[in-house]
Amino acid sequence: MASVTSEPLTDLFLRLADDPSLLEAYERDPRSALIAAGLGAGEIDTALHSPEAMRAAVDAELDGDPELRRLVTTPRMSTQTPLEPEPDEPPEPDEPDPDEPPAPNDSWESRPA
Amino acid sequence: MGVATGVAVAQAPAGGDARRGSLTVVGTGIDVASHLTPAARGAIEGADEVLYLLADPVAALRVEALNPRARSLDRYYGATKPRRETYAEIVDAIVGAVTGGVRVCAVLYGHPGVFALPGHEAIARVRAAGLPARMLPAVSALDCLLADLGIDPATTGLQTYEATYFFVRRPPVDPRATIVLLQVGMLGESGGAATDAVPGRFAVLLERLAELYGPERDAVLYEASPFPGTAPSLTPVRLGEPDAVAPALMATLCVLSGR
């Protein structure tokens, strides 16, 4: 079982991944599990507020650990619009909106839509 | 379209044996605690080399715990570096390890083949080199959206596009069906990070959608939760009020069915 005992929130999620009964209990009552993990009431309120808040709490934990700081990265996209026009490209639409923001600085994106 | 930089040739370095090289591409799903399948876990644990690209540090820690030889692919990204270049390098790294004669497991977040280019491309190149490659299915952000928003594609119809593709190409749409646009938080971006231009592009996108669907159509900015016990992020959007919101980096825009 993975463990990072000095990071209580991260450690809790790692234990949840390896323990179905603990996961079931957590999903039933996350607040109690977080208290048992050593988090304070304020931290729990913040973390449970939204996925972004929980992510920030996990990042803050790991960012304080010199060994684990490397894991705190920006989420990355793993796909992108194809470069080539499709063989049966539909007709060009109407004139672009004059208020439209400038196209990104990439050849495929700067083509008239 | 792919990012292949050439067809790989099965060639082992000194001491390696290209004939035993293989590739398994797996996904961790979205929820860090419950989405990794037993098959994906087995592939990670049994690999000689694990290369991962994950959206969450807890998932990265778990993969490293399952296999100490796991290495992140995040180093190939740069804020202004073209992602297309990044993807080519990621594919080269994966294929190079396989043709070097080791069993490689590439780990991506979500489903490794849904809105994820490098896995498909690496598999094609490994197979072209005469070596075995496979992809294991996983839970995607789209799967989470359907569950969290209570959408059944059989009832409403479902159109799904990468947001920039939709923005640039303007494909024909069925305005009665649900439409899901992924990666709105990177709308129009070709680098590794979002810029300040995204909110402006997003406003234009909403204006176009309002023309297609009407300004009163319900839409939502959605972000699946990677953490058990934490609800997904849901922000209602009015297509007729394009300046009201800006998308988060990992957000998906869903225009709900008018049926």
For the record, the structure tokens of A110 come out as 């700067």
Kindly state whether residues B22 and B130 are assigned to the same domain.
Answer: yes
From the list B131, B128, B94, the residue with the least C-alpha distance to B18 is B131
pLDDT score, position A1: 53
From the list B252, B248, B37, the residue with the least C-alpha distance to B139 is B37
Q: Which of A18, A58, A59, A77 has the most B C-beta neighbours within 10 Å, making it the best mutation to test the interface with B?
A: A77
Strand partners, B51: B71, B106
Confidence of residue B9 (pLDDT cuts 50, 70, 90): very low
Rounded-to-integer distance, Cα A72 and Cα B170, Å: 36
The verdict on whether B87 is a catalytic residue reads yes
Contacts of B161 in chain A (CB under 8 A): none
Is residue B244 included in any domain, yes or no?
yes
Kindly state whether residues B33 and B118 are assigned to the same domain.
Answer: yes
CATH number for position B78 = 3.40.1010.10
Kindly state whether residues B70 and B42 are assigned to the same domain.
Answer: yes
**How far is the first Cα of chain A from the last one, in angstroms, to the nearest whole number?**
51
Kindly tell me if the per-residue pLDDT of B231 is higher than 60: yes
Kindly state whether residues B114 and B167 are assigned to the same domain.
Answer: no
Is residue B123 included in any domain, yes or no?
yes
Domain boundary among B71, B106, B135: B135
Domain boundary among B86, B120, B135: B135
pLDDT score, position A42: 84
Is residue B2 included in any domain, yes or no?
no
Rounded-to-integer distance, Cα B74 and Cα B95, Å: 17
Confidence of residue A8 (pLDDT cuts 50, 70, 90): confident
Mean pLDDT of chain B: 90
* Residue pLDDT, tens place only, B145-174: 999 999 999 998 999 999 999 999 999 999
Domain boundary among B99, B119, B135: B135
Kindly state whether residues B72 and B121 are assigned to the same domain.
Answer: yes
Tell me the pTM: 0.84
Over range A108-112, report the average pLDDT.
32
pLDDT score, position A112: 32
Confidence of residue A74 (pLDDT cuts 50, 70, 90): confident
pLDDT score, position B8: 46
Contacts of A23 in chain B (CB under 8 A): 33-34, 228
Confidence of residue A50 (pLDDT cuts 50, 70, 90): confident
Kindly state whether residues B75 and B119 are assigned to the same domain.
Answer: yes
Q: Which domain holds residue B164?
A: 141-255
pLDDT score, position B192: 84
Kindly tell me if the per-residue pLDDT of B257 is higher than 60: yes
Helices (H), B82-162: 83-99, 117-128, 141-149, 153-156
pLDDT score, position A89: 53
| Of A9 and B43, more confident | B43
For the record, the structure tokens of A111 come out as 């083509």
**CB of A19 within 8 Å of any CB in chain B?**
no
pLDDT score, position A88: 57
pLDDT score, position A104: 43
Strand partners, B71: B51
Over range B82-105, report the average pLDDT.
95
Q: How far is A13 from chain B (nearest CA, A)?
A: 6
Over range A94-106, report the average pLDDT.
47
Does residue B70 sit in helix, strand or coil? strand
ipTM over 0.85: no
Kindly state whether residues B197 and B231 are assigned to the same domain.
Answer: yes
- Residues of chain A with pLDDT > 70, as a percent, come to 65
Kindly tell me if the per-residue pLDDT of B120 is higher than 50: yes
Is residue B8 included in any domain, yes or no?
no
Beta strand B233-238 pairing with B218-223: antiparallel
Rounded-to-integer distance, Cα B204 and Cα B189, Å: 15
The total number of structural domains in chain B stands at 2
